[in-house]
A = this chain, B = another copy of it.
Amino acid sequence: MASALRRRVYVELEPRARDGQGLSATNKFLVLCIIIASALAILDTEPMVSSGREDGFRLAELAFGAIFTVEYLLRLWIAPDNPVWAKHRFPRLRYAFSVQAIIDLLAIVPTFFAFGGGGSVLLRFFRVLRIMRLAKLGRMSSAWQDLATALSERRHELFLTISIAGFVLLVASTLMYWAEADAQPDKFGSIPRAMWWCIVTLTTVGYGDVFPMTVLGKGLAGLVALAGIGLIAMPTGILAAAFSDVVQRRREAARLAAEARKAGVSRSSAPDRSA
């Protein structure tokens, strides 16, 4: 009896149990909850929006906390139905220590702690944690998987280019420290301080809070910018290209699978027609 109910709940909650049919109604509702709860958690921090409406925000937070707690407990309950966890000795315990379950738990915890009072720093830390709920969305989409595939396929290139980028960053910081330390000791007075300039410049952000002032510093900074920007941008460029590759390959595979299925259907239905 309980097992049949659990099975039904499993099919309703686990996206992989109903492949090719999209998200179940329950999961669609949960996605909506996650988005609204995250939006509220973001707006809650803005005094212009939240001041005077603290009670409303608190109530909504409690409601969403309750929903996600129920979801967490249900997922724990149905773990033995999932073939991934079923093969372990204690499927629920094993599931409780999976990345998904930990993210789920971290997204509930703040609700309970937020009302325990506590200092403002601790409070803010828990508030901030609530945004973790968005990561739950990640489990349902394939974006993270594709990104992980792209990362692992190009790990060699990424390692090399990150090494070069790091070396360029250090050498450029050292040069600028050497050139500008006397003129601007508070901004270039040490290599770590010069590194802030270096990151801001080589990513081309350029806030303008730190920039060279001596002729030597400007000359070096110009050379560093012209030569270094491309080297710093290499890892992200390679990652973006790899990600695009992965997505296109997967789409192509999906298209071929769909065509094969269609061809199979027409072949199997052909005798029916001839009959």
Q: Give Cα A189 to B222, complex, Å.
A: 18
CB of A42 within 8 A of CB of B191, answer: yes
A29 at interface, CB cutoff 8 A: no
Q: Which of B124, B163, B203, B206 contacts A207 (CB 8 A)?
A: B206
- For chain A, the count of residues having a C-beta within 8 Å of the partner chain is 79
A235-252 near B? 1/0 per residue, CB < 8 Å: 111111101100110010
CB of B124 within 8 A of CB of A178, answer: yes
Known: A178-B125, A206-B206, A236-B231. A160 touches B141 (CB 8 A): yes
Known: A207-B211, A209-B208. A190 touches B47 (CB 8 A): yes
A131 at interface, CB cutoff 8 A: yes
Task: Tell me, rounded to whole Å, the shortest Cβ–Cβ distance linking A125 to chain B.
Answer: 7
Residues in B with CB closer than 8 Å to A167 are 134-135, 137-138
**Copies held by the complex:** 4
A174 at interface, CB cutoff 8 A: yes
Q: Which of B45, B134, B164, B218 contacts A143 (CB 8 A)?
A: B164
Task: Tell me, rounded to whole Å, the shortest Cβ–Cβ distance linking A67 to chain B.
Answer: 20
CB of A174 within 8 A of CB of B241, answer: no
CB of B134 within 8 A of CB of A181, answer: no
Task: Tell me, rounded to whole Å, the shortest Cβ–Cβ distance linking A107 to chain B.
Answer: 13
Which positions 223-265 of chain A face chain B at CB distance < 8 Å? 225-227, 229-241, 243-244, 247-248, 251
Given A205-B206, A229-B236, 16 extra CB contacts under 8 A? A42-B192, A46-B190, A46-B191, A128-B175, A131-B171, A137-B163, A141-B163, A142-B160, A143-B161, A199-B222, A199-B226, A200-B206, A200-B225, A203-B229, A205-B205, A241-B244
Q: List residues of chain A with CB under 8 Å of any chain B CB.
A: 38, 41-43, 45-49, 124-125, 128, 131, 134-135, 137-138, 141-144, 146-147, 156-157, 160-161, 163-165, 167, 170-171, 174-175, 177-178, 181, 189-193, 195-196, 199-201, 203-209, 211, 218, 222, 225-227, 229-241, 243-244, 247-248, 251
